[in-house]
Structure 1
């Protein structure tokens, strides 16, 4: 896209830059946290995906956040909320709609987005994260999440500790870097464990699109979160694949839009999110 607003500073840290991919003026606004295991990745890595979302009818904000080990948990969650506060303040300049807010993310970014959504709907959770001032200001500004989009994410410390497979082992090392301790699954010692998404969601969580592939060590966490949200009465649009489905769908499969699975993901997700935004 030629009209992308790039590298707009939204905070004091050097990494705090965002891009805006314009969609329909006043249309729903997706704020998306990129993946990379909390230690890598960038908004520019998935710029093509953001452009597709803009063409589908969304204003899209992709933002960078401070990576571990330079910044530890929950800094990226706070920075996502700061990005939302920035665009809420600049809504007229960029023709955005913070009252039709969608929080999205992939992999580690899905974890960040889900926790930011929790902070926006649960005052006690926001207080524990240390983000109460930001979320109160966002409520005053009328910023309200109408949905979340969670792709291939991490949502529970205990399940992450017990996950099997070589990729899960790599992700555990990433969580250690993110938390600054190897005790990140211990409720007594770790805020990351106490504040895990799966153990804190309620019926106030926004309607959610959630997906993960059938060849991804993290998929059980997505299925568990989908089930927990449904149990709480949250509207859920889930896309999972049977173990026998071929070709197999791996971690971050949704970005391969040339594949049937990736195209199906984009279609189902955008249809669901647009419907949520229309209801307000």
Structure 2
């Protein structure tokens, strides 16, 4: 199953309703799950050895963590320069876009790693 579609199935009424509306608003189609374009949303199907250096992170609660880790593996297997920042749930509960909550220790560590990444790849 496409990662976007699997993520959209929370199994919780209110969240499912909310995500359905997000998909509808984003794609402009009420039945967005049936669109031909949905398979194009999975970046891992389009990476190759020419992929640019990448910084990949996500939280660990209601996020795309497993998809991010698969992307990191795919990029590493292709020899692409990739830096990853993921944290175990036992360390902290981190939501999607956690990296913008700068009061979190993990956000600060991720920011430092991101700056190091930018300096290294962009000089």
Q: TM-score range by the shorter chain?
A: 0.7 to 0.9
Partner SS for 1:199: helix
- Establish whether residue 275 from structure 1 lines up as the match of residue 123 from structure 2: no
CA distance in structure 2 between the aligned counterparts of 1:185 and 1:193, rounded to whole angstroms: 10
CA distance in structure 2 between the aligned counterparts of 1:244 and 1:184, rounded to whole angstroms: 35
Change (3 A) 1:195 1:276: same
Give structure 1 stretches of 5+ with no counterpart.
1-156
Change (3 A) 1:194 1:256: closer
Query: Contact (CA 8 Å) 1:207, 1:235: kept in 2 or not?
Result: yes
- 2:78 aligns with one of 220, 226, 232: 232
- Establish whether residue 263 from structure 1 lines up as the match of residue 108 from structure 2: yes
Runs of 4+ in 1 over 6 A off after TM superposition: none
Task: Show the counterpart of 1:179.
Answer: 27
Question: Which has the higher relative contact order, 1 or 2, with Cα contacts under 8 A spaced 6 or more apart?
Answer: 2
TM-score, normalised to structure 2's length?
0.80
| Shift, 1:218, TM fit | 2.5
CA distance in structure 2 between the aligned counterparts of 1:172 and 1:234, rounded to whole angstroms: 34
CA distance in structure 2 between the aligned counterparts of 1:217 and 1:183, rounded to whole angstroms: 23
RMSD of Structure 2 on Structure 1 (CA): 2.4
Give structure 2 stretches of 5+ with no counterpart.
none
Q: Give the number of aligned pairs.
A: 119
Change (3 A) 1:261 1:161: same
- Establish whether residue 220 from structure 1 lines up as the match of residue 66 from structure 2: yes
TM-score, normalised to structure 1's length?
0.38
Whose strand proportion is higher, 1 or 2?
A: 1
CA distance in structure 2 between the aligned counterparts of 1:190 and 1:233, rounded to whole angstroms: 31
- 2:3 aligns with one of 159, 162, 186: 159
| Shift, 1:250, TM fit | 1.1
Query: Contact (CA 8 Å) 1:210, 1:237: kept in 2 or not?
Result: yes
Partner SS for 2:88: coil
Whose helix proportion is higher, 1 or 2?
A: 2
Q: Deviations over 1:159-191 (max 9, x none)?
A: 1211243597333431232212255445xx422
CA distance in structure 2 between the aligned counterparts of 1:172 and 1:260, rounded to whole angstroms: 33
